[in-house]
Each structure stands twice: as C-alpha cells, then as structure tokens.
Chains A and B, each alone.
Chain A
C-alpha cells in the first residue's frame, strides 16, 4: 500500500475543510508529518488560531461551505486530488435535544457536504474522506449501544446533530464510484490538546462542588478517543483510497477501543488536578430524569435555554461504545495513543492553559448536577463554526462550558 501512495506523492494536492478546527488541524499536522511533500490547503470559516496550530507551509482560505460559490472558487484555485471534509457544526448542549437550530445545523452539515461533494465531482477529485460521527448511530438515547459495529443502522429519529450527520454520511457514501472513492470515519467523543468540549466542563465541576454526584449506576461504558488517533485514521483512509480502495463506500467507527465508564473518566481527570470526591451521592436515573423534566418546564416557561434536560440525563447514563474490528481489518487502524496517556496529555495541556479552565469555574448559569452532565458532547465541531478562539470571551463562555460550539 505504501508503495502506491508514494507514487502519488509528487502530485497530491489536498483540500481540508474545517482545517483550523480541533480535528481538522490534527489531521493537517499528521499529514504534513507523514507526507511533507504534499500540497495542503485548509478551508475554514475561522482563520488559524494558536489553539489549533497549523504547521508551516499549509495554505489557508476563508470559505463558508454553505455557499456553493465560495466552495467553487476554492476548488478552482486549489484543484485538489484529495478532499478531507471535516467541517461541521455541533449544537451546544442547550440546543442538542431541541429542534430550534435544526435548519442551521442541517444547512452546514448536510447542504455544506452536498456542496463539497458536488464540487469534488465536478473537478475530478479522486479521494473524498468525510469526518462523520458515532452519533450517526448512537444519538437515539433511548437505546443502549454496546459494542456496536458498522452493521448497525443509523437512527432515523435522533437529535438534530445525529440526523444531519447521518444524512450527510449517506450522501458521501452514495457518491463513491470508480472516479471518486469516498469513505466516512465515525469518531467517538474526543479528547486531546485544544479540546474545548470534554475536559474544561468536567474540570469546572471541582470548583462547583459537583464532583460527588453520580447519576445512574456509573457502569455505562463510553468510547473516548485521542484526536491524534482520529487524525491517524484519516491518513490511513486517504492511503487506502489512493491505493487498494478497499474502504471505498464504507463507514468506520474510530475510537481508542478502550471503553471506560464516564464516571471514571471524570474521576481520573479530577484526580489529575488533585481532587478526589470526599464522598459519593448516587442519584437514580429516574429521579435525575424527573429533575430534567422540571428544568425543561421551567426554562420553557421562562423562555430561557435548558441545560439539564431529560435528553441530557439519558445521555449521561447511555451505554455507547463501538467495535474497532472493521477499521482494524480494512484500514489497519489501531490507537497509537492509549486512553490513559490521552487523558494525561489532555490534562497537561489544560494545566498550561489554566486561565482557560478557571474561566469556566464560576459560570453562574451552571446549576449543580448540570456540569456533570456536560460531557455529553460527541466530537467534531471544528471547522466552519469553530468557536474556540472566542471561547475566552466572557459572554459566550457559558455556551462552550456547556458544550463546545455555539
């Protein structure tokens, strides 16, 4: 496989959408490291920031993928062989289980993908790799998802995010043909340097004295993935589609393959920062669910945004981990960074950015328990809507403390 790829190396021009985001920048770094001769262009709505570093020699173009004109001119200028499409939008927790942002999410995730695919076909792109999400399958919080594989169907009715990713993924996989090979990678919840979704809200629980609360039995397993492992998977997918093409038209779950309970992830992060809950209060799932319902009612009546909701409680207690067999067999993907190291690395980076973390610790809108539920976020926001640079600003601090984008 390696040989084939090398034969392409002289001429490969890559276009990476969402390349200044969390995942996109990691993919860009991995590609530059492995194939320094390749010509990389990043398109994103947000310019590169210090938080998600881009290596030197990578060009950047400001593009809104929802505009077909903008996409068209970018493709015309770059004329890529390979497209990596990571741009997308994840609604924040407050909106995650509601439908208010549906058209916006659909616009970016589905129509944006449609634009990217259309232009790729028009300009003769050979390889199209799409960053999908495990939410394609696992976002219907009513079912448990133990050890799911790629045979599992996508939930037709889930969350606005899961639905939009499922629809976009279907477009991508259907577009695969002999001219352009496509595949979709479905990473789980991510961690790693530059993560502004998973770690900060968990860390904030220490200051909010919320660490003692445990919702449900604390036995539900989750997959968590280091962002560099996801980047590796993208590189492998590109190599595959440039050579044997055994991955064409296929979707793959990508994760560390070391599921741990969400509670243990939190405890490990808190322990890293020297905090160990002095005691533990178990809140039965049904009770938390009722509290969620009450919160929803109140916020509905007040016209504010709900943070704790029935959806988030179910999410917190959900079982969600996938089998990595297919990715291993076809792509040869195995996690390079183990989960223990991944969590340590994420914490260490956050240590250095302690001002970041502390900016989240006094969020007045976060009620007890809520923080605990925050982890929820599936990966992948980055890209066109990445809010990370402004996340230091107080006014939107709340939203990303809750979840990430928006």
Chain B
C-alpha cells in the first residue's frame, strides 16, 4: 500500500489508526534499556540484534535488565547457527561439524566465521561473532549452561537435517516429522527461554515440569509462520507443509497454487490451521505461569500476533498467491492488548478464535474438528477467567446480596428519598408563588369570577378585539 492507499485504509479504519497513535504515544515499556551503562561491546551486540530482527529487537530491548543481555545473546547465537545452516554454499563437510560443535565455539574467545557467501543476509554477524562470544563469557554461568545446552541440541538437530537433505529427501512427510522440525527450530527456543525465566525467578518453576507447554509456545509461532509463508517458501523451493496433510487434499504439492484446485487448497490450509490451533490452549496455560511484566510482554506479543495471523490466513485464498500480513494498526492494537495482563490477552484470543469460528464452513471436511478446537480454547479461557462464578449464581438464587450490592441498594434508596423530598419542596414553592401571584392580581382588581364564568361557558380565548370606546 502506498501513501494514498494507507490514507484511504485508515480513514475507513479509524480504530486501527487510533491504536497506532496510542501505541506510539502512550506505550510505557516496563523496563528501558539504559545505553549509558552499556559497554561498547554490548552496544555492538544490540546493533546486530536490530539488524537481524526488527520485531524481536523491540520486545527484547524492553526486557528486565537481569535477562536483557542473556536473551539478546541467546538470540544472536541462534541466529548465527541459523546463518550457517541456511547457507547452501557451505559444503556439508564444513557445515556439519560446525553445527555440531557450535556449543563449544561459544567459549572460544575471538572466534569468527568468514565462510558465508557474500549475499547471506546476516553474514556480518558471524564475521564479528567474537563480540557475541565476549558477552557470552561474561554472563552468569547458569545462563551460559542453558544457552549452551540448547545450542548443542539445536545444532545437532540442524546437522541431522542437513545430512538428510544431502543423502535423501528432506521434505516433511508425517505430522510427527512436522512437529519435530518445528520443535528444533522453535520448540527448543521455548525451552531455553523458559529455563532462563525460571532461573531468573520470573517464571513459575512448574513451567519446567510441563514441557508440553513451552513446546506448544514455540510450535504455535512456527506453525503460524509456516502457514503464512507457504507461497514464499514454495518460490524458494522449500516445503514445510507435511505430506500427510496436503496429500489428503491434492495429488501434487504444486496443485495447491493452481486456481482450479482452490477449494482443495483452502481445505488443506484449514487443516494446517487446525493443527496449529491445537496448541492454543497450552499457550495460554503457559502465559499464566509468568510472573514478570516484561517477560509476559515478551512472550505474549508474538502469541497474539500469531493468532491474528492465523485468523488472517484461515480460508484466505491470498496465502497461495502472495505474502500476507496483518495491518500495522491491528499489530499495534494487539501489542497494546498483549502488554497488560493475561485477562486482556485472553479476550483478544477469544475474539480471534471466534473470528476463525465464523469463517469455518461445513464445506470443509475438518469443519467439526475446527469447531471443537475453537470451543476448547473458549472453554479454557472460561476456566481461568470465569464470566460468572458459582457463588454469584448461588446468591442470585437465594436473593442474597453481596456487601457492595447491599450498599448500592441502600444508596439507591437514599437517593430516591432525596428526589422525593426535592420534588415535594418544588411543589410547595410552586404553590406558594402561585398563591402570591393570584393574591397580588386579586388585590389589583382581577375579576376571577368573570374569568371562571367565561371558562365554564367554553370561551378559552380572550375576546378577539377589545373596544376602547371611551378613548
């Protein structure tokens, strides 16, 4: 959309414009990065962060100071790993040991890597990776252990995948493989972050006892991206939609993009959405376990963006044609709602779940399944934030009132008395004034007897003309 397009769009969506302005003007980060106290090396790391991800850098920079550097470095480490993995110009013989050994690289001071092809987007990060390593070594050892552990597992997962791609067909076949792939690229990050949160005492330790929860957090985000990016990935010759799902709807993966198979493609995409929505409930459950506002925001913003993106993609033929995105206004509104508390976030989750539900159509073979999963999310929200409690219902039946209600009722009764008193007072004043006026008129010779007589005869109007004969 150009400038004119934007102007037109927002003049018809004033609420979204309002959300943008509100976010820009009023958003108050719970913690602000203090650049004055940062070393040159740290500043450099933040610069890399900004370069590699605009959306993540914004939320990371608002994190609590305790986790600010660890999470920034965690992100950069994973990004470095990703840059090695993504680069198809690196031969497997170099790539595989590098990925598997990345964990140890983190403690090799001064290490850098110049083997990336020049067009690789984040090449510079690896060229100057020594700065990241310096910060890593300065971190609390507990955090180092967590980051190293995740790096090791992710590196090995990526190496396995690279080997498989070389020797055999690496396309995703079953739903299990799809989940596993998403787990390596996103689920593991969720685990690492959760461990960091719990280590810093910003998260309920119970979160670690239920690994499904943080796994779902990562999978929900990753699956949303995979659904949204179907066209882009296809153009780049990557396929993440599992064969187990698409083969139910079309014979060849390419058919998804052909207009004559649009109905099948939409049904396929809605099965993908169904598969992702199954994590929705666990994501909300996870968010309930976070104790610190900035950490909550950090986790909640991507989740609400994800459900909104999911709603946008659901039964939308455009996903097969181009890359679609939620509007900036919607994003600001979501960010605003994701930075309050879980209850507000749940409200927007419910709103988008209902929107998805409304778009659901019986033409879809998964119609009922989608309906059920939407119902589950709504029921779950109702469990954590009941709209009506049993106690309230009990009182309604017994007619008993809560203290507040009783007080309000008393006040209402008092107000009513006051109103009656005022009305009576006004009445008395009216009677007195009217009496005085009638008395004054009578004193001046008003003939009420004549007026009364005329009225009883039906003459409600004064005579048309008064004759002034004598004058």
Contact = CB atoms under 8 A, between A and B. Distances in A.
Interface string A134-160: 000000000110111101111110000
Interface string A183-223: 00000000000000000000000000000000000110100
Contacts of B372: 258, 260, 339-340
Interface string B357-375: 1101111000111011001
Interface residues of B, number: 28
B151 to A, nearest CB: 40
Contacts of A321: 375, 379
A218 B375 CA distance: 12
A258 B380 CA distance: 11
Interface residues of A, number: 31
Interface in B18-52: none
B94 interface: no
Contact of B368 (A144, A276, A339): A339
A323 interface: yes
Interface stretch (A114-122, A264-272, A287-295, A352-360): A264-272
A253 to B, nearest CB: 12
Interface SS majority for chain B: helix
A258 B376 contact: yes
B55 interface: no
Interface string A239-267: 00000000000000000001111001001
Contact of A146 (B357, B382, B394): B382
A16 interface: no
A374 interface: no
Nearest to A275: B362
A260 B371 contact: yes
Interface stretch (B79-87, B286-294, B330-338, B385-393): B385-393
A260 B375 contact: yes
A46 to B, nearest CB: 33
A30 to B, nearest CB: 24
B362 A261 contact: no
B1 interface: no
A221 B378 contact: yes
B224 to A, nearest CB: 23
Interface string A330-358: 00000000011001000000000000000
B239 interface: no
A261 B357 contact: yes
Most buried by A among B371, B383, B387: B371
B348 to A, nearest CB: 16
B1 to A, nearest CB: 31
B397 interface: yes
A178 B96 CA distance: 71
A152 B393 contact: yes
Given A146-B382, A258-B375, A271 B362 contact: yes
A261 B363 CA distance: 17
A149 B390 contact: yes
B354 interface: yes
B209 interface: no
A340 B368 CA distance: 7
Contacts of B361: 276
Interface in B375-427: 375-376, 378-379, 382-383, 386-388, 390-391, 393-394, 396-398
B362 A147 contact: no
Contacts of B388: 143-144, 146
B383 A153 contact: no
B277 to A, nearest CB: 14
Interface string B52-85: 0000000000000000000000000000000000
B357 A268 contact: no
Most buried by A among B354, B369, B382: B382
Nearest to A221: B375
A153 B371 contact: no
A403 B358 CA distance: 28
A151 B390 contact: yes
Contacts of B376: 258
A402 B371 CA distance: 26
A340 B383 CA distance: 23
B387 A221 contact: no
Nearest to B399: A156
A152 B390 CA distance: 5
Contact of B397 (A147, A155, A258, A323): A155
A148 B397 CA distance: 15
Nearest to B375: A259
A267 B367 contact: yes
B387 A144 contact: yes
Given A155-B397, A219-B354, A276 B363 contact: yes
Contacts of B375: 221, 258-261, 321
A132 B205 CA distance: 42
Nearest to B396: A143
A135 B138 CA distance: 64
Nearest to A147: B382
B362 A270 contact: yes
B60 to A, nearest CB: 37
Contacts of B354: 219
Nearest to B363: A276
A192 B362 CA distance: 21
A138 to B, nearest CB: 11
Interface of A: 143-144, 146-149, 151-156, 218-219, 221, 258-261, 264, 267-268, 270-271, 276-277, 321, 323, 339-340, 343
Interface of B: 354, 357-358, 360-363, 367-369, 371-372, 375-376, 378-379, 382-383, 386-388, 390-391, 393-394, 396-398
Query: Across chains A and B, which 5 residue pairs bring their CB atoms closest together, nearest first?
Result: A151-B390, A271-B362, A264-B371, A147-B382, A267-B362
22 contacts: A143-B393, A146-B382, A146-B386, A146-B387, A148-B390, A149-B390, A151-B394, A153-B398, A155-B397, A156-B397, A219-B354, A221-B379, A259-B378, A260-B371, A260-B372, A261-B357, A268-B367, A268-B371, A276-B362, A276-B363, A321-B379, A340-B368
Given A146-B379, A264-B360, A264-B368, 11 more contacts: A146-B382, A152-B390, A153-B398, A221-B379, A259-B379, A260-B368, A260-B371, A270-B362, A271-B363, A276-B362, A340-B368
